[in-house]
Structure 1
Amino acid sequence: MAVKNVCAAKMGGCSFSMRRGNGKSDRLTASLLVCILFFHFTPLLFAQQQNPPFLADKYLYWADSVLATLSPEERIAQLIMIPAYSNKDKVHVDSISALVREYGVGGIIFFQGGPVRQAHMINRFQQETKVPLMISLDGEWGLRMRLDSTVRYPYQMALGGVSDEDLLYEMGAEVARQARRSGIHVNFAPVVDVNNNANNPVIGFRSFGEEKENVASKSLAYMKGMQDHGILASAKHFPGHGDTDADSHYSLPVLHFSEKRLRETELYPFRQLMEQGLGSIMVAHMQIPALDDTPNLASSLSRPIVTGLLKEEMGYQGLVFTDALNMQAVAGYYPPGVVDVKALLAGNDMLLNTMDVPATIREVQRAVERGEISREEIDQRVLKVLQAKAWLGLDSLQPVETAHLIEDLNDPAAVFLSRKLTAASLTLLRNRDNILPVKGLDNIRIASVSLGTDKPTDFQKGLDRYAPISHFTFPAGGGLKEIADLKTKLADFQLVLLGLHGLGIREGSNDFGITPEMNVMIRDLIANHAVVVSVFGNVYSLDKIPGLEKAEGLIAAYQETPLTQDLTAQLIFGGIGARGRLPVTVNGFFKQGDGLETQTGGRLSYTQPEEVGIRTADLNGIDSLMRLAIQEKAIPGGQVLLAKGGKVFYQKAFGYHTYDSLQPVNMDDLYDLASITKISTSLAAFMHLKGLGKFDENETLGSYYPPARGTNKADLAYKDILTHQARLRSWIPFWMSTVRKNGSFKWFTMKSDSSRRFPVKVADDLFIHRKYDQKIYEEILDSPLNPEPGYVYSDLSFILAPKVIETITGEPFYEYLDRNLYRPLGAGTLTFNPYKNYPPKRVVPTEIDTAFRKQLLHATVHDEGAAMLGGVSGHAGLFGNANDLAKLMHLYLYDGSYAGEQLIAPGVVSAYSKCVYCDTGNYRAMGFDRPNRPGDPNGNAAPSAPKSSFGHSGFTGTYTWIDPENEIVYVFLSNRVYPTRENRNIYRLNVRTNILEQVYQALSKAEGRED
């Protein structure tokens, strides 16, 4: 067996025979000879097992030299790793410091706290120690498992369903980067336990699943990612904690199955990782009679298991850690010091969570004196620890730099990796009749219910981006009355999106908090509605809900985080597709390997710049431009949305509704879109009708609008009207004809109260005569044409457009738009007169009108002409948020197609967005604006915007632009006219076009990096 110990880890492992003192070279030569003979005659026994990386000979010199400086007591201390917390007080920190200084412990395992506080502690302790400390942490799902202000990665159970194992390698590499940046050297991960017991109280979601091959391959990817990037991985919990029904933190679990089963299943992942150079292993606290039948003896204290099975039979040469020695599975049977010695005698190298350092050192010395363990054996283990420290770079230790630590740990690329992993894990288990992604938004009423909470959830916020949805909650303690109330409220909804929340393991119960009342509620919903259930929690909870398999849609999301809820909402509506596979069998309906795939449904997805090849840092200029605009009082605030290829990669709200800084701007607030109304209403309807063969730009105004016949407008071709070269006047100040010289309104025009004759609301406490719109239309038709041909931007034809469209369709203007475009898009906030449907706090005010309406314009249209038409016009009056406007712009980007529906016939938007009269100097398309001076930083478009790009701007400070070459959609909403339209700072600063230019510069940098 001595030969095996020397040679088990290939030729390089023979370094363990090297001892200081006389005869060192002879002993090395003899050991090498033994190794050569051993491997010659047993080529198959360990041929596939790769040494842990720190056992290379180059790390031996430093380790051997340090060992020579240590006293016997200090050598024992090197095998001790003590617990520490960075969220505790100075007394705790000082107590750890004392152990480091007085006894020279080998390492520290950190638990809860924060990165900067922990870094300060690490720096202090490393300064106080004689031998650099090995710093460790449990980071199974990243540093966030223990440290606040860090990136959270999905639980291993979720990752068990991810098909792309390269992502797990990336995760390991990124966790290693974050660990090294934080001063951490060992991550006690991955968990390689095969979780084949659904009632396991301690592993469960911490495992990659129940299939040993899947657990092994996922664990290996995670391990290699960490160790390839300089962090020691630690596979746990040897020999396998997946099939236990007790928590070793509180009692000693007993494994009653056979040695054959243990070797075939539980040990399989450990063997696979050992063969690839696994750096360390953590031994569990379990009683395993098949391997050692000593009563009440944990595996971590068993020599037949640690030395006999792990080190000798399996030939493992890496570091062997105990599980925490303060856990009741061992601490309940042996006092501090004694338990540590037993662990050392069993064969462990590092004693984790030693609770009494002087007692442990004292007890180990006594064991040496009793001949239970030799000094040489202790030295061999210390040497291995020191070699690991050398590999980890502790031979040239540098302090942890605390400046920018939080920022570095939360690098956007690291956050994006978490997003990719989470998206890849989402598992679609039911999709009856392909209900997902949700289709036909124009024909369905949708409600969401968050079950297990009484507050709106991130899931519901995510759903809101896709369609108008009514939201409800059902608290964990809800009873029959709440069930009845909710049933009544949901009666008229065809589709219910149900989120299950708060599904934690409760002490003394395995129902995950699912009450009988919740089951009644779920069963009733599934019986009476089309229901899509999203389970935000432990996947085993699926078994606690009878009838769940009957739901039209079912998504296993594995855990409840804002990101998981966000991405699940995107999956439901087709922003992302489903790819995950169930890593465990829950019951007869939901089995290991189950998982349906869906493709993206053509709707917007919401992501980070990194997904479209842009670094987040390269867009910092956008934030700076917005802050400057607010500082210079160009705008009180605004919304900025940017998308590429249908992926919204930047979406932020800035500032406040007004300069009093009372109401912050939110992304769901509505803005007055001003002239963007032209391309969002009139032009949208014309293009839709064009596709139906009911409108032709070559026809005239008179052909579609009978009142124009016999006027000088009758023969104006729509091609000329839409390109603003039909000789129409730019505008008419209609409101001025309603005002007397003394400033009061003429009696037949406006009243302060509504009535049958004055029912049309112009603004708060201001109503116009019911037939005044006819006067406006007549005034337009009677107005003279410009004497000279050529381009003159005009509102007049767009004011007439609603009447033209109503004449063609026989349907009210807005109803036509809503039915054919807005509702299918899920663009519920695109509306006229938002005061009818939205609370004032959701609507951003515009100007304090001192000339006409004598008030702050809030939730009523800014444009005077549109206001006199009751807020509904084709040139101004539309309100909306950036997100919903972006949906319409994507419809234009993709030539009339969105979410798999061709809402505008192919080729129409493409034709209408092209320049018609460029050869005459008119750069406009039919309704759309185009770059007037391409490349000019003072033009109407970003200098780098291609000539093919198009869009529109609005007088209130709005702007939207579409770049078909780069598949970019840009929306900028602000109220620059607050408090007065005389504020022109937005033009001086070129805020709107400069923001889009930041994107082009970022893309240029990305292309340079790729080169």
Structure 2
Amino acid sequence: MNKYQKIAQCFSPAAFIHDTEENYQAIEKLIKEQEIGGLTFFHSRHSAAANFEKRAEVLDVSGTFEKLIGLINRYQAISKIPLLISIDGEYGLAMRVEKTPQYPFAITLGALKEDAERWVEEVGFRMGKDMKSSGIHLNLAPCADVNTNPNNPVIGYRSFGNDPEKVAPLAFAAYSGMKKAGIGACLKHFPGHGDTATDSHLGLPILHKTKAELKAEELLPFQYGIDRGVELVMVGHLAVPALTGGKDIPASISRELITDLLKGEMGFKGLVISDALNMKAVANLHPEPGELEWQAFHAGNDILCFSDHVKEGIGKIAENASDKEVDAVFGKVMDLKNRLGVMEFKTIEVPAFDWESHSQLQKDLAENYVSVISGEINTKELQAMAKAGKLGYREFFTQNPSIFSQQLDLPIAPIEQAEKVILAVFVPSHKPLNQFGMDQGVMDELQKLAKSKTCILIHFGNPLALKHLGKLEDFEAVICAYQGFEEVQGVVTQTLQGIEAYGS
């Protein structure tokens, strides 16, 4: 193989499942003419643009999964060397593909009370199995970011928590589960995106911390993983001046950070993947096509993700990199392909998921993480009040009555007559934009009710949204359910009936 062909193996541009035939053919052209090494699949251009355009919704399109399988088969059939197929599925295929199993968010798994590492590894394993059966070789997850900034616009629910000592083993457990399922996984976003206030899709976050502070927090989960043999790390688009001689240079294109710190000082021997090279934090720095790709390669990245200028990038790297550098990276990429079974590609059939087993896992997990986080639940008193016609119920941010309201199975009094009210909040969005999608007027109404009557709050959703619902002490008790899954609603019903698997 010539130098250009070897460099092309580093490239994993974006492929959209829902796209035009013209765009599908453009990907085929990249595969045939540039001989790229892989593809990273996303749902659609619409959902990929959601970050840039400050939209939170996802376009709902039917047949996504079948389309994905069809495209993987179509693209693999024309590639000389089988393609490394990647997806960014932090909570499973469902992050990108409708009607596939969705697993709890990292923040939810961070709330597990018993055997957290074992359960997180099991979730990683199940996710990995779903992906492997779908022709995917590499999941660009989990996040090893420590979410120490509660107002972080981009990490939040994607992190296992705000304590590095807890995040480290859980991120490694998720990674290990995926590896056990036979797919690749990577810790991200090195050197740590948790304490930032800027979304790197939109601008460059700058982390003003000393090296000692970074070692104690941000870098700790990465070092934990490296010490235990993690094979892939994704580098984020954030500047850490303390590690780059005072310069505001994104980590993803910083040789000091990738080659000197990550590979040198921290002893990482595996492959480094760049975060998406189309993100505004870096894309605007090098307007000349191909220059950004060269800077990322020169910094020490082995796989270049979401490059918008593949041909120019290959040309620039070929012009600037030595044969020795190219051979070293090419060797690492081919070794990864061999390890992940990429080279033995066979046509994929659309797999059937075991939904019953998935539902049981969701129930087992929910029994472990649903928690009474404030006050106490007196189940006998609740039953007695319901029988006496003094228990009210109201839910917020639902279009239709929830499964939970049907499962409660208690006589409910009108709010005016009720002495105690159960307030169920179904948080509309897991992202913090516009107060997690919660209307201020509705929240004012909820807070007014909590001050005028004895209320129990049930929070179905991202716990970071709780701060918008008033003080916890305004409620007699607060149950944090973390997610709105059907199984979770069942577990909360059990909690109110006095049936608890793990206690609070």
Do Structure 1 and Structure 2 share a fold, with TM-score over 0.5?
yes
- Residue of structure 1 in register with 2:37 after alignment: 106
- Is it true that 1:305 corresponds to 2:257 in the alignment? yes
The whole-number CA distance in structure 1 between the counterparts of 2:104 and 2:339 is: 29
State the 1:401 CA deviation: 1.7
Identity among equivalent positions (%) equals 34
Q: Which moved more, 1:132-141 or 1:520-529?
A: 520-529
Contact 1:437–1:574 under 8 Å retained in 2: no
Which structure 2 residues correspond to residues 78-97 of structure 1 after superposition, within 5 A? 78-97=9-28
Contact 2:240–2:248 under 8 Å retained in 1: no
Among candidates 276, 285, 294, match of residue 333 of structure 1: 285
Contact 2:291–2:313 under 8 Å retained in 1: yes
Among candidates 186, 195, 204, match of residue 252 of structure 1: 204
- Residue of structure 2 in register with 1:424 after alignment: 368
- Is it true that 1:533 corresponds to 2:460 in the alignment? no
SS in 1 for 2:141: coil
The whole-number CA distance in structure 2 between the counterparts of 1:375 and 1:438 is: 74
State the 1:512 CA deviation: 3.1
Which structure 2 residues correspond to residues 364-443 of structure 1 after superposition, within 5 A? 364-367=317-320, 373-402=321-350, 405=351, 407=352, 409-432=353-376, 434-435=378-379, 438-440=382-384, 441-443=386-388
- Is it true that 1:71 corresponds to 2:16 in the alignment? no
Contact 1:150–1:410 under 8 Å retained in 2: no
Which structure 2 residues correspond to residues 494-513 of structure 1 after superposition, within 5 A? 494-504=419-429, 509=434, 511-513=435-437
- Residue of structure 2 in register with 1:554 after alignment: 478
Among candidates 369, 377, 390, match of residue 445 of structure 1: 390
- Is it true that 1:116 corresponds to 2:61 in the alignment? no
Amino acid at match of 2:148: N
- Residue of structure 1 in register with 2:138 after alignment: 186
The whole-number CA distance in structure 2 between the counterparts of 1:451 and 1:381 is: 53
SS in 1 for 2:189: strand
- Is it true that 1:146 corresponds to 2:91 in the alignment? no
State the 1:519 CA deviation: 4.3
Amino acid at match of 1:379: D
- Residue of structure 2 in register with 1:289 after alignment: 241
State the 1:242 CA deviation: 0.2
Amino acid at match of 1:145: M
SS in 2 for 1:131: coil
Amino acid at match of 1:353: F
The whole-number CA distance in structure 2 between the counterparts of 1:116 and 1:109 is: 17
Amino acid at match of 2:474: K
The whole-number CA distance in structure 2 between the counterparts of 1:85 and 1:195 is: 30
Cα distance change on mapping 1:87 and 1:287 into 2, 3 Å: same
Amino acid at match of 2:390: R
State the 1:162 CA deviation: 0.8
- Is it true that 1:460 corresponds to 2:405 in the alignment? yes
- Is it true that 1:211 corresponds to 2:163 in the alignment? yes
State the 1:352 CA deviation: 0.4
Contact 2:272–2:303 under 8 Å retained in 1: yes
What do the CA deviations read for 1:923-980 (whole angstroms, capped 9, x no partner)? xxxxxxxxxxxxxxxxxxxxxxxxxxxxxxxxxxxxxxxxxxxxxxxxxxxxxxxxxx
Contact 1:533–1:551 under 8 Å retained in 2: yes
- Residue of structure 2 in register with 1:493 after alignment: 418
- Residue of structure 2 in register with 1:318 after alignment: 270
Amino acid at match of 1:86: I
- Residue of structure 2 in register with 1:177 after alignment: 129
Cα distance change on mapping 1:173 and 1:333 into 2, 3 Å: same
What do the CA deviations read for 1:568-622 (whole angstroms, capped 9, x no partner)? 2333223444x5xxxxxxxxxxxxxxxxx35xxxxxxxxxxxxxxxxxxxxxxxx
Amino acid at match of 1:351: L
What do the CA deviations read for 1:978-1009 (whole angstroms, capped 9, x no partner)? xxxxxxxxxxxxxxxxxxxxxxxxxxxxxxxx
Which structure 2 residues correspond to residues 497-646 of structure 1 after superposition, within 5 A? 497-504=422-429, 509=434, 511-577=435-501, 579=502, 597-598=503-504
Unaligned stretches of 5+ residues in structure 2? 45-63
- Residue of structure 2 in register with 1:197 after alignment: 149
Cα distance change on mapping 1:277 and 1:183 into 2, 3 Å: same
SS in 2 for 1:266: coil
Contact 1:435–1:553 under 8 Å retained in 2: no
The whole-number CA distance in structure 2 between the counterparts of 1:398 and 1:161 is: 40
SS in 1 for 2:317: helix
State the 1:524 CA deviation: 3.2
SS in 2 for 1:416: helix
What do the CA deviations read for 1:182-237 (whole angstroms, capped 9, x no partner)? 00011111111000000100000100000111111111211111112211111000
The whole-number CA distance in structure 1 between the counterparts of 2:65 and 2:500 is: 33
The whole-number CA distance in structure 1 between the counterparts of 2:174 and 2:205 is: 27
What do the CA deviations read for 1:488-544 (whole angstroms, capped 9, x no partner)? x412113311112344377875x3344554444333323343311111222122222
Amino acid at match of 1:116: E
Cα distance change on mapping 1:378 and 1:98 into 2, 3 Å: same
The whole-number CA distance in structure 1 between the counterparts of 2:276 and 2:124 is: 23
- Residue of structure 1 in register with 2:311 after alignment: 358
State the 1:565 CA deviation: 3.2
Larger RCO, structure (CA 8 Å, separation 6 or more): 2
- Residue of structure 2 in register with 1:945 after alignment: none
Unaligned stretches of 5+ residues in structure 1? 1-69, 368-372, 471-488, 580-596, 599-1011
What do the CA deviations read for 1:666-719 (whole angstroms, capped 9, x no partner)? xxxxxxxxxxxxxxxxxxxxxxxxxxxxxxxxxxxxxxxxxxxxxxxxxxxxxx
What do the CA deviations read for 1:20-48 (whole angstroms, capped 9, x no partner)? xxxxxxxxxxxxxxxxxxxxxxxxxxxxx
Among candidates 295, 305, 318, match of residue 342 of structure 1: 295
Amino acid at match of 1:119: I
SS in 2 for 1:532: strand
Which structure 2 residues correspond to residues 149-168 of structure 1 after superposition, within 5 A? 149-163=99-113, 164=115, 165-168=117-120
Q: Which moved more, 1:444-453 or 1:152-161?
A: 444-453
The whole-number CA distance in structure 2 between the counterparts of 1:506 and 1:148 is: 19
What do the CA deviations read for 1:98-119 (whole angstroms, capped 9, x no partner)? 1111111111111117222111
State the 1:365 CA deviation: 1.6
Which structure 2 residues correspond to residues 803-818 of structure 1 after superposition, within 5 A? none
The whole-number CA distance in structure 2 between the counterparts of 1:454 and 1:224 is: 39
The whole-number CA distance in structure 2 between the counterparts of 1:512 and 1:132 is: 41
- TM-score, with length taken from structure 2: 0.90
Amino acid at match of 2:91: W
The whole-number CA distance in structure 1 between the counterparts of 2:376 and 2:177 is: 39
What do the CA deviations read for 1:723-745 (whole angstroms, capped 9, x no partner)? xxxxxxxxxxxxxxxxxxxxxxx
State the 1:554 CA deviation: 0.5
The whole-number CA distance in structure 2 between the counterparts of 1:436 and 1:390 is: 60
Contact 2:237–2:275 under 8 Å retained in 1: yes
The whole-number CA distance in structure 1 between the counterparts of 2:102 and 2:381 is: 27
The whole-number CA distance in structure 1 between the counterparts of 2:266 and 2:136 is: 29
The whole-number CA distance in structure 1 between the counterparts of 2:2 and 2:462 is: 50
Cα distance change on mapping 1:454 and 1:133 into 2, 3 Å: closer
The whole-number CA distance in structure 1 between the counterparts of 2:431 and 2:6 is: 44
State the 1:171 CA deviation: 1.0
State the 1:300 CA deviation: 0.4
Amino acid at match of 1:325: L
Contact 2:14–2:307 under 8 Å retained in 1: yes
- TM-score, with length taken from structure 1: 0.46
Cα distance change on mapping 1:265 and 1:523 into 2, 3 Å: same
Contact 2:375–2:478 under 8 Å retained in 1: yes
Cα distance change on mapping 1:143 and 1:338 into 2, 3 Å: same
State the 1:127 CA deviation: 1.4
The whole-number CA distance in structure 1 between the counterparts of 2:249 and 2:204 is: 9
Cα distance change on mapping 1:437 and 1:77 into 2, 3 Å: farther
- Residue of structure 2 in register with 1:27 after alignment: none
What do the CA deviations read for 1:145-182 (whole angstroms, capped 9, x no partner)? 11111111111001001132211111111111111100
